Amino acid sequence: MCGIVGYVGTGSAKEMLLAGLSALEYRGYDSAGIALVRKGKLLVRKESGKLRALEAKVTGSDFDSRLGIGHTRWATHGAPTRENAHPHVSGDGRVAIVHNGIIENFMELKEELILEHGVAFASETDSEVIAHLVSLYYEGDLVEAVRRAAKRMRGAYAACVVAADDPGKIVAIRKDAPLIAGMCEEGGLLASDIPALLKYTRDIYLIENNEIVVITKQDVEIYDEERTRMNRARTHIDWDVAAAEKGGYEHFMLKEIYEQPKGVRETLAHRLDESGAIQLDDLGFTKEWADKLERIYIVACGTACHAGMVGKAMIEKYAKIPCETCLSSEFRYSDPIVNERTLCICISQSGETSDTLEALREAKRRGAEALSIVNVVGSSVARASDHVFYTWAGPEIAVASTKAYTTQLVSLYLIALYLGLLRGRATEAEAGALLAQLAEVPALIEDVLGREDSIRALARQHYKKEKIFYAGRGTDVATAEEASLKLKEISYINSYSIAAGELKHGTIALITRDVLFFALATQTKLYDKMLSNIEEMKARQAQVVAVAKASDARVAEVADDTFFIPDCSDEVAPIVAIVMFQLFAYHVAKFRGREIDQPRNLAKSVTVE
């Protein structure tokens, strides 16, 4: 996803924009640029590569300006070249824009602009059409021009627009891509993400879909698409810049792995009252409604979907409601069986994932009640849902998700239990037992973190392997999937995950002596079956590392190596075991010299389909 910033005020626009963009660097980008309005002219500089390259090009008093927009681009349409970098400028050089998202009908608009208006395009991007459209409609009123341009655009966008002839304001629009605004002593600010503004203000305006926002040095004005002024309360952000900094850790990912005990503790603390009972009353679920529920769909992408796989098991176990976990990208096109007796649970760290947002809308269109489990306060998924359960992971910056996952798991356990109690399908004793286990989880995670040295040693031993398998049964399948995703996304190793019972139906053909095979054996009722799977792998000469509970005396006799997680119940084992695999992936990637926080081809939130 691209990062966008805008500033107008009394300070140096260049400094403010570069500071905002550098706060968004963690999200990954391949080119950057700024447009400043100075002495009635637009001054645009853009460079491919890192911000440093851009900074070097904007030194000196020529770039002294009080108003501008900036962008870090993640290439979608067109290569990451300087031409394709934002800002994009209209043919007469009077209008500049930055854009995050996708203009789906850009081909059609481009054709019209070329054929009917003789516009010459300077880039291969879809975004450039915005600059030309706004310029075409500009007749002295920038807000109106942007409004008219937006009416022609289909797709997802957050875009900021400046005009050399209107040097006091920045106009921005939003549809299905994040956009926030704020005021600080030095003026008005716009950005795609909170960290860009945190240095200047903690009170932000969340811009809604189809709204237009105008910032000047004194004010933030928000309008709906018919240009009616909207009142918007500010949202206070209570985490600080330090939470979005590395705090002495070499990488954000490692810091975030270590923040998991805290994230789990906070997620529990926000949802348990003084007597230790689950507090989800604010969600407004009634017994009558819960009793009538026929089906739950969990929809999510990637890591969040793996959390959903465990969530399904917990919902069926405690609430006794049939539950299906679907990839958002499949769900939205699958003609799902949804009605008013369906609950759709959307899980998303960023709350901006386009597929998940659309899946949620589809479920709602079909009558479902929508509950989201989200980390980013005020994000699009949160706002589109009927009910929100916030995870208290704090900002997650590394592309590879870690603390969001474990807090999503804890959230799902609480929701499963709450629904079970509401429906009278879970007993107080069951609830008490699971809550007691959850209370132990932070300490159990700390135990695994305390064994980082041995995990690093395991990583050192295996980091050159090219084929790594993860297998398990029951909820260990979800852990295997997540462990494998962590490894492949940051180390680029070809890694596979599979339900162990499926191995013999085909995949076993890939097992040879050069395979490293992680066998998860944390689920008691499937334990013996897992031992047989280990034997099968050994017979094919794979190197087997078992992951089992500390008091397991048998597994070490069959596996080549064993990593023990502390003794815990089968239910909470997924939250504990994954921490070992996160650290393993981290150290393998480090031994391989990878860019851990910003792996190639990946962005922190995926706002395009």
Residues 6+ apart with CB under 8 A from 27: 1, 3, 72, 74, 193, 399, 598, 603, 604, 605
In the complex with ligand F6R, the residue whose CB is nearer, 257 or 315, is: 257
**Structural contact between residues 409 and 574, judged by C-beta atoms closer than 8 angstroms:** yes
Q: Give the residue carrying structure tokens 């909820």.
A: 475
**Best CA proximity match to 101, nearest among 78, 82, 77:** 77
What's the min distance (Å) between Cβ of 62 and ligand F6R?
40
Supply the residues annotated as catalytic.
2, 604
Q: Measuring CA to CA, which residue among 175, 178, 82 is closest to residue 125?
A: 82
Give the residue from 3, 5, 7 showing the smallest Cα distance to 215: 7
CA–CA separation, 95 and 160 (whole Å) = 11
Among 12, 348, 385, 495, binds ligand F6R (CB under 6 A): 348
Supply the minimum distance, in Å, between the C-beta of residue 477 and ligand F6R.
17
Encoded one letter per residue, x for contact with ligand F6R by CB under 6 A and - for no contact, window 380-409 reads --------------------xx--------
Contact 4, 197 (CB under 8 A): no
Asked whether 487 and 588 are in contact (CB, 8 A), the reply is: yes
Smallest separation, CB 402 to ligand F6R (Å) = 8
For ligand F6R, the closer CB: 374 or 500: 374
CB of 588 to ligand F6R, least distance (A): 15
> Of the candidates 8, 304, 343, 438, which one interacts with ligand F6R according to CB under 6 A?
304
Among residues 353, 372, 475, 491, the one that binds ligand F6R under rule CB under 6 A: 353
Q: How many CA atoms lie within 13 A of 494 on its CB side?
A: 6
| Residue 4 or 304 with smaller CB distance to ligand F6R | 304
Which CB, 485 or 519, lies closer to ligand F6R? 485
- Residue with Cβ nearer ligand F6R (16 or 191): 191
Phi, psi of 67, rounded to the nearest 5 degrees: -145, 135
Is residue 491 at the binding interface for ligand F6R, with CB under 6 A as the rule?
no
Please, what is the minimum distance in Å from the beta carbon of residue 542 to ligand F6R?
Answer: 26
**Of positions 48, 356, 437, 582, contacts ligand F6R by CB under 6 A:** 356
Nearer to ligand F6R, 34 or 485 (CB): 485
Q: How far is the CB of 545 from ligand F6R (least distance, A)?
A: 22
CB of 362 to ligand F6R, least distance (A): 16
Least Å distance, CB 131 to ligand F6R, is 29
Q: Is 263 in the site for ligand F6R (CB under 6 A)?
A: no
For 401-467, the three-class secondary structure string (H helix, E strand, C coil) is CCHHHHHHHHHHHHHHHHHHHHCCCCCHHHHHHHHHHHHHHHHHHHHHHCCHHHHHHHHHHHCCCCE
Judged by CB under 6 A, the stretch of 22-30, 107-115, 239-247, 348-356 that binds ligand F6R is: 348-356
The residue sitting closest to ligand F6R, measured at its beta carbon, is 302
Residue 350 or 562 with smaller CB distance to ligand F6R: 350
- Gap between the Cα atoms of 535 and 547, Å rounded: 15
In this structure, are residues 478 and 497 in contact, taking their beta carbons and an 8 Å threshold?
A: no
Residue type, 234: R
The CA distance from 159 to 150, in Å, is 10
Q: Among candidates 22, 392, 377, 9, which has minimal Cα distance to 197?
A: 22
Residue among 109 and 400 whose Cβ is closer to ligand F6R: 400
Tell me, rounded to whole angstroms, the distance of Cα 470 from its chain centroid: 24
Least gap, CB of 280 to ligand F6R (angstroms): 21
The reply on whether position 606 binds ligand F6R by CB under 6 A is yes
- DSSP per-residue string spanning 143-209: HHHHHHHHHH--EEEEEEEEETT-TT-EEEEEESS--EEEEETTEEEEESSGGGTTTT-SEEEEPPT
Q: Name which of 87 and 302 has its Cβ closer to ligand F6R.
A: 302
Minimum CB distance to ligand F6R smaller for 31 or for 350 = 350
Where does this chain touch ligand F6R (CB under 6 A) — which range of 142-150, 203-211, 343-351, 432-440?
343-351
Binding mask 461-490 for ligand F6R (x = CB under 6 A): ------------------------x---x-
Q: Scanning residues 273 to 302, which ones bind ligand F6R (CB under 6 A)? A: 301-302
Please report how close the Cβ of residue 86 comes to ligand F6R at its closest, in angstroms: 23
Q: In the chain, count of helices (H) and strands (E)?
A: 19, 25
Look at the alpha carbons of 218, 223, 229, 231 in this order and tell me if their dihedral is positive or negative.
Answer: negative
**100, 73 Cβ separation under 8 angstroms:** no
Binding mask 405-444 for ligand F6R (x = CB under 6 A): ----------------------------------------
- Helix H or strand E encompassing 114: helix 106-117
Residue 329 binds ligand F6R, judged by CB under 6 A: no
Strand residues in 250-396 grouped as ranges (E): 295-300, 323-327, 342-348, 369-374, 387-390
Span near ligand F6R by CB under 6 A; candidates 29-37, 127-135, 286-294, 342-350: 342-350
Report the residue from 125, 260, 350, 533 that binds ligand F6R according to the rule CB under 6 A: 350
- Site residue total, ligand F6R (CB under 6 A): 15
**Cβ neighbours of residue 594 under 8 Å, at least 6 residues apart?**
490, 491, 492
* Residue numbers at the binding site for ligand F6R (CB under 6 A): 301-304, 348-350, 353, 356, 400-401, 485, 489, 605-606
